[in-house]
């Protein structure tokens, strides 16, 4: 393998047979491998300078999901591949929505696991090269920093997860063009969107909530119903000015007590209750 493509991999798993075979094949391919039987603190994973992490949440106990979520939020440039036993569709969807890059079901061949890890690492390298070449993107009050996988308003971080940042960066990079949901999913999640999957809408909603809390004076993401989304910063005041309430109606003069009605037609004025 080309030295530039050497992969630094950590494995969190207690399946001795699988780990032994995987370790031998990975070392033969020139990979650098670290194996642990339990959760590794995120700061230690950072010190390892990893390309990818292969983890079986089953060995993490009750905190498995919490650990995955913390990793996805704290290590946005780390490729994470789950390799575990039987799982439900809901569990796999939950993991992918948290920010996991891929999900493998055991039993699986170590070569398949390595191929998936290589694919995840390759996507990460492409993303890192792209991020290092592109400077900050300033839009409205928002500053998008690809080099930090984060966005800021007046210097304060929006605390975006990796997936939220990738979604925001993709929309902003489209420069006002409408992106279809399917295209967004393919670019951010890395594979075709299943029929009925609402992941894009869920993450758009989370993004909007964070943007509205930190930058309430601006609108950033616009919905094109039945199509997708567009990033185009606009001052919120433009919309608010269009919604100014109409002036109250002038009071209707009451007829004099002795005046005869001019017509039998009654005109009644209704006001909104």
Distance between CA atoms of 191 and 9, rounded to whole angstroms?
A: 23
The predicted-structure confidence for 163-202, as pLDDT tens digits, reads as follows 888 899 999 988 889 999 988 987 887 667 788 888 899 9
How are beta strands 52-55 and 102-105 bridged, if at all? unpaired
Report percent pLDDT > 90 for the chain: 32
Instruction: Say whether pLDDT at 230 is over 90.
Output: yes
The helix or strand, by DSSP H or E, that contains position 35, with its residue range, turns out to be strand 32-36
Mean pLDDT for 250-260 is: 50
Instruction: Say whether pLDDT at 208 is over 90.
Output: yes
| Ordered DSSP codes for 144-184 | EETTTTEEEETTEE----HHHHHHHHHHHHTTT--EEHHHH
- The pair of three-digit structure tokens given for residue 103, joined into one six-digit string: 């999900």
The predicted-structure confidence for 15-59, as pLDDT tens digits, reads as follows 999 999 999 999 999 998 999 999 888 888 877 888 899 999 989
Distance between CA atoms of 117 and 152, rounded to whole angstroms?
A: 31
Report the helix count and the strand count for the chain, using DSSP H and E: 9, 12
Instruction: Say whether pLDDT at 227 is over 80.
Output: yes
| CATH of 3-132 given 3.40.190.10, 3.40.50.2300, 3.40.50.300, 3.30.70.1450 | 3.40.50.2300
Which architecture characterizes domain 134-235 according to CATH? Answer: Orthogonal Bundle (1.10)
Least confident of 15-24, 79-88, 116-125: 116-125
Sheet holding 8-12, edge to edge: 32-36, 8-12, 52-55, 79-84, 102-105
Model pLDDT, residue 245: 42
Q: Report domain extents, the chain.
A: 3-132, 134-235
Place of tokens 């984060």: 150
Mean pLDDT for 199-208 is: 93
């Amino acid at each position: 393998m080309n030295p530039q493509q050497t992969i630094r991999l950590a494995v969190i798993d207690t399946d001795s047979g699988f780990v032994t075979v995987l370790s031998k094949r990975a070392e033969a391919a020139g990979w650098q491998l670290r194996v642990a039987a339990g959760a590794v603190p995120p700061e230690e994973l950072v010190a390892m300078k990893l390309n990818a992490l292969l983890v079986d949440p089953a060995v993490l106990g009750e905190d498995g999901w919490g650990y995955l979520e913390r990793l996805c939020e704290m290590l946005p440039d780390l490729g994470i591949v789950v390799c575990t036993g039987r799982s439900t569709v809901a569990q796999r969807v939950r993991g992918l929505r948290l920010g996991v890059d891929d999900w493998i079901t055991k039993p699986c061949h170590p070569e398949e696991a390595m191929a998936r890890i290589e694919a995840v690492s390759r996507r990460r390298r492409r993303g890192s090269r792209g991020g290092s070449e592109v400077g900050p993107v300033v839009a409205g009050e928002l500053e998008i920093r690809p080099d930090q996988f984060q966005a800021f308003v007046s210097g304060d971080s929006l605390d975006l997860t990796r997936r939220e940042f990738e979604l925001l960066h993709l929309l902003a990079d489209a420069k006002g063009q409408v992106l279809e949901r399917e295209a967004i999913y393919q670019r951010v999640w890395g594979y075709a969107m299943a029929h009925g999957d609402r992941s894009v809408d869920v993450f758009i909603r989370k993004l909007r909530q964070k943007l509205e809390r930190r930058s309430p004076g601006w609108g950033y993401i616009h919905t094109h119903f039945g199509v997708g989304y567009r990033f185009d910063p606009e001052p919120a005041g433009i919309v608010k000015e269009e919604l100014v309430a109409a002036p109250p109606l002038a009071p209707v003069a009451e007829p004099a007590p002795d005046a005869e009605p001019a017509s039998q037609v009654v005109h009644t004025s209704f006001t909104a209750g």
